[in-house]
Amino acid sequence: MPEPDDLRRPGPLTVASRFNGPPESGNGGYVAGRLAGLLDGHPAATVTLRQPPPLERPLQVLDADEGGLRLHDGGTLVAEAAAASDAVLDDAGFEPVDPVAFDLAADASAAFFAGRDEHPFPTCFVCGTARAEGDGLRLFPGLLPQQPGTTATPWVPDASLADADGARVRPEFVWAALDCPGAWTVLGADIPLLLLGRFTARIDALPYVGDRCVVMGRLLGRDGRKVRTATTLYDPDGRIAAQAEALWIAPRPAQAS
């Protein structure tokens, strides 16, 4: 009889090419949201990405200790997910990023999004400038001049992101929207590239298609190649819909040949 942590869950998880981050792998927030959605009824989860999630290939979902999950590509561990209790979130200092108005977020996005000129992944599903309306999320987080290390971007979810009833946004797209606005709090000449390592998110309310939402990002700290950020999604009434904290890793500079 197999051990409990070796039991396969029904059906593989495949990341469609639409949902890429880097050109050849899945957007970290989206993949984290897909895996977290397979945890039984937990509003908050922590997902650790061990390898870039491959596209258009069935990945195996396996049970892990204490109700967690592992995502495998053959013999390679791609990601791990575990439920995150309120106590864990409170101990980690899980705090929302204060909001700005939708119009101010739109102004910051238009004027101060660093990725318009230099973007490490212009086809990224979340923040890629090369993605068309209704294809990518087109979230372009701009730094707020009056709030150093803080970004804001408007988000009006389109119908392609809807759940089965066509009304609310599916959870994995909320996870995706909480991803890149954190990275852009620090991306620039000094740190041209970040890869998502660990992502903890909690969804309080799924937004509706067409809602005028705001996504905020804040730099929490930097230690060498490690960067910590927080993100918060606000609904049209200024209420918190979801929030996240992330650990990013800046790749080592390429060795000179």
Task: Label residue 169 exposed, middle or buried (CB < 10 Å: 0-12, 13-18, 19+).
Answer: buried
Q: Which of 67, 89, 111 is the last residue of a domain?
A: 89
Would 257 be classed as within a structural domain?
no
| 32 part of a folded domain | yes
d(CA 77, CA 190): 31
Instruction: Look up residue 51 and give its DSSP letter.
Output: S
Per residue in 162-175, pLDDT (tens digit) is: 999 999 999 999 99
The tokens describing 67, both together, are 């109700």
What's the rounded Cα separation, in Å, for the pair 54 and 156?
28
Task: Give the C-alpha separation, 190 to 104, whole Å.
Answer: 27
Let me know whether 138 and 165 are in one domain. yes
Tokens at residue 113, please? 């999004």
154 plus 225 within the same structural domain: yes
- Looking at the fold, whether 209 and 116 belong to one and the same domain comes out as yes
Decide which of 89, 116, 146 is a domain's last residue.
89
Structure tokens at 229: 């950020």
Residue among 114, 112, 103, 115 nearest 145 (CA): 112
Domain boundary among 89, 108, 126: 89
**What CATH number should be reported for the domain holding residue 176?**
3.10.129.10
Spatial strand order of the sheet with 76-83 comes to: 60-63, 69-73, 76-83, 44-49, 195-203, 240-249, 226-234, 213-223, 147-155, 142-144
In the numeric block, the tokens 């509003």 are attached to 43
* Residue 241 amino acid letter: A
Query: Does residue 255 fall inside a structural domain?
Result: no
Residue 124 in tokens: 């990224």
**DSSP SS3 for 116:** helix
Number of domains in the chain: 2
Reported as a single tens digit per residue, the pLDDT across 231-249 is: 999 999 999 999 999 999 9
Here the tokens at position 228 are 């910590």
DSSP-derived secondary structure letter, 4: G
Is residue 107 located within the same domain as residue 179?
yes
**What DSSP element (H or E) covers 173?**
helix 171-177
Rounded-to-integer distance, Cα 213 and Cα 245, Å: 19
Both 146 and 85 in a single domain?
A: no
Domain of residue 48: give its range.
Answer: 7-89
Q: Is residue 1 part of a domain?
A: no
Same domain, 125 and 243: yes
Residue 2 lies in a domain: no
Tens-digit pLDDT string for the chain (257 aa) = 333 344 555 569 999 999 999 999 999 999 999 999 999 777 899 999 999 999 999 999 999 988 899 999 999 999 999 999 766 666 666 799 999 999 999 999 999 999 999 999 999 999 999 999 999 999 999 999 999 999 999 999 999 999 999 999 999 999 999 999 999 999 998 899 999 999 999 999 999 999 999 999 999 999 999 999 999 999 999 999 999 999 999 998 763 33
113 and 231 together in one domain: yes
Same domain for 84 and 99, yes or no, is: no
In this structure, what DSSP letter does residue 105 have? H
- 256 occurs within a structural domain: no
Backbone angles phi, psi at 173, to 5 degrees: -80, -25
